[in-house]
Amino acid sequence: MALLIRTVARQGMCSSRSQFGVFYRHAAPMGTTAKEEMNKFWAKNTQLNRPLSPHVSIYKWSVPMAMSISHRGTGVALSSGISLFAVAALVLPGSYPYYLDLIHSLSYGPHFLAFSKFALAFPVVYHTFNGIRHLIWDVGRGFKIPEVYRSGYTVLALTLFTSIGLAAM
């Protein structure tokens, strides 16, 4: 059935009725775009104050799902951090070494330093390795579910060990 629809669609929606075949006796092309349809849907339902059905809150979490949102989360966090750093560079009067020494005078010892390095490195490393995983998907490979899980666990393992390695440097 899906194949039929797809074949019909791919041949292009000409006005000739004969293309539609048995299942679409009274078919006629619509005048609105998909975007307009979506906007109409949202406008109507928000205007009627309809509540949204629970979705993210009830769906069972999976490793790929969690990794995907973590990729976005780390990306947002890192980008925000960079922006914060840039604004600080523009606004604060002192130089970087000055503030670095200031932070170091506040730290609680070598273990705290190592942990801070780990905490800083972890999101960067995770985002990088998962980013590579995304690029592999982008060339069309690794979509089978076992492959998705395997690559996911690989990214997690690599992230952990690389972050520890970087924190030790």
Partner 1 sequence: MAALVRISSLCHRGISPVLFRSSTLIRPVATQKHERDCPYSISARIHATPSYHAGSGSKAAAMHWTGERILSIALLGLAPVAYFFPGPVVDYSLAAALTLHGHWGFGQVVTDYVHGDSRIKMANAGLFILSTVTFAGLCYFNYHDVGICKAVALLWSK
**Residues in the site for partner 1, rule: CB under 8 A?**
1-2, 5-6, 8-10, 12-14, 20, 23-30, 32-34, 37-38, 41-42, 72, 75-76, 78-79, 82-83, 85-90, 95-97, 100, 104, 113, 117, 128, 131-132, 134-135, 138, 169
Shortest Å, Cβ 155 to partner 1: 14
5 versus 63: smaller Cβ distance to partner 1? 5
62 versus 79: smaller Cβ distance to partner 1? 79
Shortest Å, Cβ 64 to partner 1: 17
The HSE-up count of residue 65 (CA atoms within 13 Å, CB side) is: 6
**Helices 145-168 & 63-91, crossing angle to 10 degrees?**
40
Give residue 81's region: left, alpha or beta (phi > 0; psi -120 to 50). alpha
Hey, what are 42's tokens? Answer: 């949202």
Other beta carbons within 10 angstroms of residue 127's beta carbon come to 21
Shortest Å, Cβ 1 to partner 1: 4
CA–CA dist 130, 73 (Å, integer): 12
Shortest Å, Cβ 107 to partner 1: 8
Closest CA to 100 of 118, 115, 88: 88
61 versus 138: smaller Cβ distance to partner 1? 138
Shortest Å, Cβ 34 to partner 1: 4
93 versus 146: smaller Cβ distance to partner 1? 93
Report the residue count for the chain.
Answer: 169
CA–CA dist 106, 117 (Å, integer): 15
146 versus 169: smaller Cβ distance to partner 1? 169
The C-alpha angle with vertex 76 and arms to 155 and 69, in degrees rounded to 5, equals 50
